[in-house]
Structure 1
Amino acid sequence: MKALFLAGGLGTRLRPLTEHLPKPMALVGNRPWLEHLLLHYKEQGINEFVIAVKHYSELIESHLGDGSKYGVRIDYSIEKELLGTAGAIKNAEHLLSDRFIVVNADIIHQVNLASALKFHINHGGVATICLTEVEDPSQYGVVEQISNHQITRFIEKPKKEEAPSNRINAGIYIMERRALGFVPSGRSVSIEKETFPLLIENGSGVYGHPIGGYWMDMGTKDRYRQVHWDVLDRRFPVKIDGKEVEGKGIWLGDNVRVGQGVLFIPPVMIGDNVTIGDRAIIGPYVVVGKSSRIGDQARMANSILWDRCKISAGAQLNECIFGSDMEVGPHILHEAVCNRTLEVQR
């Protein structure tokens, strides 16, 4: 079975971080999320992948390549124009197996694929939608199911008190190839608004399976921060590169140079080849990307730096997110989200 990652869109709500970057390539714990995702599904037994790309596809291809360095095979399905979720799947049809899994690649999650696959095989329908439970379903598409877990309808963004359940579409699907016979070619098609309702209506069999575990849509700056805090607190147990210092919640990568009198307030994650100046205070909840330089007496808390950032001596950062190659003077910044242009969004 192959996995198809839908990675064609840009993260409009994560701008300016993803202004020129596919959202699945945003760093999570100093590694592109798409790479984490690939490794997670490899651990689940998948070794053949198709990645549907559109914007800045060369960034994904140059990073992941053909998959050989990860011990998997990767093919790419390139969209000349955005085709929507179902349209992107249809565009990749020639690369897919008779049964395949589809993953919205910007959704942070861990899934027990074996459990979902067993459920899918047993019900015999054309599609299984993996579901996750949320406290407030009013911002999502909610499913209504009958006793055998068959989905009878979707309700888009219902009022909380009117939602038939708190189970929402997790953006992960197991599908049979025959379902694609109901998807038109050559135009944008939404799987949520067009394909699944059609398959429900014609009796093809669309079922829902709760995945449990961790799930987060990182599409906003607040949720993007929360993913990192959950990584640092190990509520989301994705792999952290580097060694933990004496079990204290301080992870240091290779070749980290720490000046005199530096204070780490855990949890903190420091990438490879980072230099931290004398008497800097780092933490709590700080992630510093690879090859970054932190000046003397800089103070950082609740902040995320991507790779190769340069923070001047005396700078104070709180609740900031900086893209790669940022250079910051001796400023006091709070709730800043910046790219290389030092564009600040609050």
Structure 2
Amino acid sequence: MSTPPSRSRATAGWATSASTSCPRLVERGKVVAHPLPGYWRDLGQPHKYLRAHFDVLTDDLGVLDRPDWTINTRQRTRVAARVLAGAEVVDSLVSPGCRVAGRVERSVLGPGVVVGEGAVVRHSVVFADCVIEAGATLDGTILDTGCVIGAGAFVGGAGPAVAEDPDLVTLVGRGSTVAAGVRVEAGGRLEPGTTA
């Protein structure tokens, strides 16, 4: 598609998304289908990204255990995950190197994540090497690599509805710190390297 030189794409009314361009292409007979067998989900928004993770928490869906389709990563080798006495992990995925002393519910923990005693992580995806200190709560959050959630802090709070509403997902950027006792409301956004 090209835009006439005298008008911008926005003012020219050119289609810029599948929702407007695909129907026109179908009308012209210029669309071909390429079926993809198995599981597929759009991950283009934070709530959809969470939903995809939730989908595989209790059912493999033919995605994670396929001998013919290995998952190759550049992660360093880590010790096995540890779930300590008194901890509880429910419907979750826990990566190597994790140490869980609190409660993890319907969440994904990346490699090296530490969940302190009395901490709660639910309906969240936590990237590598994050620390959720004792008594902290993380709910409906995507926590990027290397973040620290201080003791007694509360981040998010949207519950299971987070997978349906983009405005409820709490995003915490790489290397951010939420200080002890601080509250970050559902839908909050912390830029990388932020201290709250």
TM-score normalised according to structure 1 size: 0.36
- Asked if structure 1 preserves the Cα contact closer than 8 Å seen for 2:146 and 2:176, the reply is no
Q: Tell me the equivalent position of 1:341.
A: 176
Counterpart selection for 1:332 from 126, 130, 154 = 154
Deviation at 1:288, TM superposition (A): 0.5
Amino acid across the alignment from 1:259: L
Deviation at 1:231, TM superposition (A): 1.7
Deviation at 1:255, TM superposition (A): 1.4
- Which whole-Å deviations, capped at 9, do the CAs of 1:268-314 have from their partners, x for residues lacking one? 1000011112xx1110x110010111111111110110101111110
Q: Does 1:300 align with 2:139?
A: no
Greater helix share, structure number:
1
Amino acid across the alignment from 1:227: A
Most deviating of 329-338 and 208-217: 208-217
Amino acid across the alignment from 1:341: S
Go from structure 1 to structure 2 and tell me whether the alpha carbon gap of 1:256 and 1:207 turns closer, same or farther (over 3 Å shift).
closer
Go from structure 1 to structure 2 and tell me whether the alpha carbon gap of 1:261 and 1:219 turns closer, same or farther (over 3 Å shift).
same
Q: Does 1:142 align with 2:142?
A: no
| SS in structure 2 at match of 1:337 | strand
Counterpart selection for 1:275 from 92, 99, 106 = 99
Amino acid across the alignment from 1:224: Y
> How big is the alpha-carbon RMSD for the aligned residues of Structure 1 and Structure 2?
3.1
Q: Which runs of 4+ in 1 moved over 2 A?
A: 138-145, 151-154, 206-215, 233-237, 341-344
| SS in structure 1 at match of 2:54 | helix
Go from structure 1 to structure 2 and tell me whether the alpha carbon gap of 1:207 and 1:259 turns closer, same or farther (over 3 Å shift).
closer
Q: Tell me the equivalent position of 2:58.
A: 233
Deviation at 1:224, TM superposition (A): 0.4
| SS in structure 2 at match of 1:210 | coil
Q: Tell me the equivalent position of 1:287.
A: 108
Partner Cα separation in structure 2 for residue 269 and residue 232 of structure 1:
7
The higher radius of gyration belongs to: 1
Q: Does 1:153 align with 2:32?
A: no
Go from structure 1 to structure 2 and tell me whether the alpha carbon gap of 1:229 and 1:207 turns closer, same or farther (over 3 Å shift).
same
Partner Cα separation in structure 2 for residue 221 and residue 288 of structure 1:
16
Partner Cα separation in structure 2 for residue 141 and residue 342 of structure 1:
42
- Which whole-Å deviations, capped at 9, do the CAs of 1:217-238 have from their partners, x for residues lacking one? 2110110001101121326432
- Asked if structure 2 preserves the Cα contact closer than 8 Å seen for 1:231 and 1:237, the reply is no
Q: Tell me the equivalent position of 1:322.
A: 143
Greater strand share, structure number:
1
Deviation at 1:216, TM superposition (A): 1.7
Q: Does 1:219 align with 2:35?
A: no
Flag structure 1 segments of 5+ consecutive residues without an equivalent.
Answer: 1-137, 146-150, 155-199, 201-205, 241-252
Partner Cα separation in structure 1 for residue 28 and residue 88 of structure 2:
54
Go from structure 1 to structure 2 and tell me whether the alpha carbon gap of 1:219 and 1:281 turns closer, same or farther (over 3 Å shift).
same
Deviation at 1:263, TM superposition (A): 1.4
Deviation at 1:260, TM superposition (A): 1.4
Amino acid across the alignment from 2:96: D
- Which whole-Å deviations, capped at 9, do the CAs of 1:195-246 have from their partners, x for residues lacking one? xxxxx5xxxxx63343353222211011000110112132643216xxxxxx
Partner Cα separation in structure 1 for residue 155 and residue 98 of structure 2:
21
TM-score normalised according to structure 2 size: 0.61
- Asked if structure 1 preserves the Cα contact closer than 8 Å seen for 2:39 and 2:63, the reply is no
Q: How does 1:1-346 map to 2 (within 5 A)?
A: 139=19, 141-143=21-23, 153=28, 200=30, 207-234=32-59, 236-239=61-64, 255-265=80-90, 267-277=91-101, 280-283=102-105, 285-330=106-151, 331-334=153-156, 335-339=169-173, 340-342=175-177, 344-345=188-189
Q: What is the number of residues matched between the two proteins?
A: 140
Partner Cα separation in structure 1 for residue 56 and residue 20 of structure 2:
24
Aligned-residue sequence identity (percent) comes to: 22
Most deviating of 331-340 and 305-314: 331-340
Partner Cα separation in structure 1 for residue 83 and residue 60 of structure 2:
28
- Asked if structure 1 preserves the Cα contact closer than 8 Å seen for 2:121 and 2:137, the reply is yes
